[in-house]
């Protein structure tokens, strides 16, 4: 088996992974970095799909305190306050670096300053952007900068991580077992420091927004290695996922700036329904509220024929919509609709996971040698992420992860991995090629998407969650017995890749369902129809999880209330 030895291994080429690679190099150009991406660098992942932009305090009338409070309130007060404080304080420096050093061309106001637009759930218009397709520019420019440093940053495209390697005691990560999708080869990367930044697993839902290569690989690997997780019940559903029948565009996001600019949400009866759910903020309410409102309108029989609701921009004028949202107009035109001149059918769509591996402000996980950043990490957003705080998190904590990785790699030495662990991982992932019959993975894939949507989705209940937990256990066992039809082909074997994807979906789905069953209240994105009230007396805590043998150990931790106390939150006596 081939082996690569390096100082730092980065899994993922989104905003977090790319920025981390740059910061490792810029801290110490002598360090070697391996950056592995499941697709093609600069062309895959969800950071590239970011439309709206990045939240940052730039205006004198705004403040980091306001941004912090918006983030905490939006997160239902269960955010790790030190992580949230780091997010808002590092954002200005991050944007300056993107603007001046990385070369992103942010839209400008008439006076030449960076333009900031309205996003939901915020007390100030602080979202910087590049038209309505910000992620493409950010990822393209970061990728350019990585290529400039290619003598020390080795990029492995179409390469995925299978599992992390640990020391004998399981306390330290020392690398990963990898698979080259182009050849089917399995190989080892031995590293002083490993950063996981592969994104979440929202694609495990029937209607979802993420790129197809984003299947929770990093989260599943971290869990199997023994890392501690937090807030896994908190899954965000974006309110406006495009409905396009069987098209692959179905579920893709129509950006939040459309509502921020004054777009209306209308049900199948033509009613502007948000006044029933948040009459003060209406369509500019937080994502969890708008998504839940749309779902409830559909469930109440007031949806469209295709089980959706409508986004209406017509009253803003076609010229305005086409000028401000060219990317969204083009996306809708792809399905034969005109965003500027007619209503467009949308549905809540699984979008983002607030939960993930538990980290500190420097991206260190509960395992030595393992850093986690971006959507793979939990704690920043609490129970609901504000639009514009996602790519902000990826870039802010990607920079920090790079700085931390460089410091650790300089101080540490390369520890050996255990060959028996490598063989066990290889045997497990290649077992499907040894079978001449077994489980067909595609019906399992379809079932988990339906199961997660119906029983662990926008609106939850104890009985449905209990059914989901039990069935996910069975599906994981079924996936373990899957086989590939073409046993002689490992190169670009899509069936093999789907077996890995589905296994990781189920692994992450079990964490989500377990935590959702345990939290007997409603908070942010987590809504229990059998416990509709928020209970600060009992549930002003974070649900944590980790592997315990073959099971999941669930337990609660007090919220990291470093800026204001739990008692202040309980009594709503918060002054800032």
Cβ proximity of 156 and 36 under 8 Å:
yes
Which is catalytic among the residues 48, 141, 238, 399? 238
Indicate if 129 belongs to the active site.
Answer: no
Which is catalytic among the residues 23, 48, 259, 385? 259
Cα–Cα dist 158/41, whole Å = 9
Q: What angle do CA 228, 175, 423 make, to 5 degrees?
A: 100
Secondary structure of 412-432 in HEC code, one letter for each residue: CCCCCCCHHHHHHHHHHHHHH
Cα–Cα dist 434/272, whole Å = 57
Q: Could you give the dihedral angle defined by the CA atoms of residues 13, 19, 21 and 25, in that order, rounded to the nearest 10 degrees?
A: 160
Angle between helices 134-148 and 390-411 (to 10 degrees): 20
Angle between helices 64-74 and 81-96 (to 10 degrees): 130
Cα–Cα dist 546/230, whole Å = 9
Indicate if 238 belongs to the active site.
Answer: yes
The dihedrals phi and psi of 58, each to the nearest 5 degrees, come to -125, -25
Cα–Cα dist 516/511, whole Å = 9
User: Which string of b and e fits 94-131 if b means at least 16 CB within 10 Å?
Assistant: bbebbeeebebebbeeeeeebbbbbbbbbebebbbbbb
**Active site residues per annotation:** 238, 259
């Amino acid at each position: 088996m081939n082996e690569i030895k390096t100082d730092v291994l980065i899994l993922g080429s989104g905003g977090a992974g790319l920025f981390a690679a740059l910061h490792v190099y810029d801290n110490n150009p002598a360090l070697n970095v391996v950056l592995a991406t499941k697709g093609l660098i600069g062309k895959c992942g969800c950071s590239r799909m970011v439309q709206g932009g990045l939240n940052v305090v730039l205006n004198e009338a705004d403040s980091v305190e306001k941004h912090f409070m918006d983030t905490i309130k939006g997160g239902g007060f269960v955010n790790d306050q030190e992580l949230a404080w780091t997010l808002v304080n590092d954002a200005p420096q991050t944007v300056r670096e993107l603007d001046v050093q990385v070369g992103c061309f942010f839209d400008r106001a008439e006076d030449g300053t960076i333009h900031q637009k309205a996003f939901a759930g915020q007390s100030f218009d602080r979202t910087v952007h590049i038209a309505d397709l910000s992620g493409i520019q950010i990822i393209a420019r970061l990728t350019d900068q990585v290529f400039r440093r290619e003598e020390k940053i080795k990029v492995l495209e179409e390469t995925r991580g299978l599992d992390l390697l640990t020391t004998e005691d399981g306390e330290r990560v020392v690398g990963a077992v990898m698979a080259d999708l182009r050849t089917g080869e399995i190989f080892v990367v031995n590293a002083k420091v490993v950063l996981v930044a592969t994104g979440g697993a929202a694609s495990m839902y029937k209607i979802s927004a993420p790129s197809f290569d984003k299947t929770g690989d990093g989260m599943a690997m971290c869990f199997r290695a023994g890392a501690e997780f937090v807030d896994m019940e908190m899954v965000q559903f974006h309110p406006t996922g495009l409905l396009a029948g069987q098209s692959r565009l179905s579920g893709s996001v129509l950006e939040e700036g459309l509502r921020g600019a004054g777009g209306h949400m209308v049900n199948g009866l033509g009613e502007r329904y948000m006044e029933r759910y948040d009459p003060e903020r209406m369509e500019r309410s937080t994502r969890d509220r708008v998504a839940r409102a749309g779902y409830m309108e559909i469930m109440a029989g007031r949806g469209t024929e295709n089980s959706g609701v409508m986004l209406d921009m017509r009253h803003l004028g076609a010229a305005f919509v086409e000028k401000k949202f060219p990317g969204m107009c083009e996306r809708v035109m792809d399905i034969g609709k005109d965003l500027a001149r007619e209503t467009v059918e949308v549905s809540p769509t699984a979008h983002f996971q607030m939960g993930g591996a538990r980290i500190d402000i420097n991206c260190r996980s509960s395992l030595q040698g393992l850093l986690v950043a971006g959507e793979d990490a939990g704690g920043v957003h609490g129970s609901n992420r504000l639009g514009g705080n996602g790519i902000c998190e990826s870039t802010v904590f990607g920079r920090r992860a790079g700085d931390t990785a460089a410091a650790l790699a300089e101080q540490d030495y390369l520890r050996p991995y255990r060959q028996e662990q490598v063989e066990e991982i290889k045997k497990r992932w290649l077992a499907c090629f040894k079978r001449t019959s077994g489980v067909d993975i595609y019906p399992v894939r379809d079932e988990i998407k339906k199961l997660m949507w119906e029983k662990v989705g926008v609106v939850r209940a104890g009985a449905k969650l209990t059914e989901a937990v039990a069935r996910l256990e069975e599906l994981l066992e079924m996936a373990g017995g899957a086989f590939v039809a073409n046993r002689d082909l490992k190169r670009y074997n899509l069936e093999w890749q789907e077996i890995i994807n589905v296994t990781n979906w189920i692994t992450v789905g079990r964490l989500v369902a377990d935590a959702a069953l345990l939290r007997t209240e409603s908070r942010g994105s987590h809504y229990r129809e059998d416990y509709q009230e928020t209970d600060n007396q009992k549930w002003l805590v974070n649900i944590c999880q980790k592997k315990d043998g073959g099971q999941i150990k669930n337990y609660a931790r007090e919220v990291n209330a470093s800026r204001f106390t739990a008692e202040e939150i309980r009594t709503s006596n918060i002054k800032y």
